[in-house]
Amino acid sequence: MKIVKRIVLTPEQKKAQRSRNVAIGTMLAVFVLTFYVATWFKFDPSAIYDLMRNQTK
């Protein structure tokens, strides 16, 4: 059996890692939302207009 050494991160490294994870997650969400909206416009360009028109009533 092979013994595996674990790397222990310092508090500063953990904070930096968390910040990177949050940034990556946020960018992934923006990316997915962009494709969702682009697909919505591609298949039904009037959908946004109808949505805004119904909110003003």
H-only helix segments in the chain: 11-43, 46-55
Contact, 48 vs 41, CB < 8 A?
A: yes
Distance CA 53, CA 32 (A): 25
What integer pLDDT is reported at residue 4 of this predicted model?
86
Distance CA 30, CA 11 (A): 29
When the pLDDT of each residue in the chain is averaged and rounded to a whole number, the result is 86
Q: How confident is the model at residue 56 (pLDDT cuts 50, 70, 90)?
A: low
What integer pLDDT is reported at residue 44 of this predicted model?
72
Q: What is the mean pLDDT of residues 27-36?
A: 95
Q: What is the mean pLDDT of residues 12-18?
A: 97
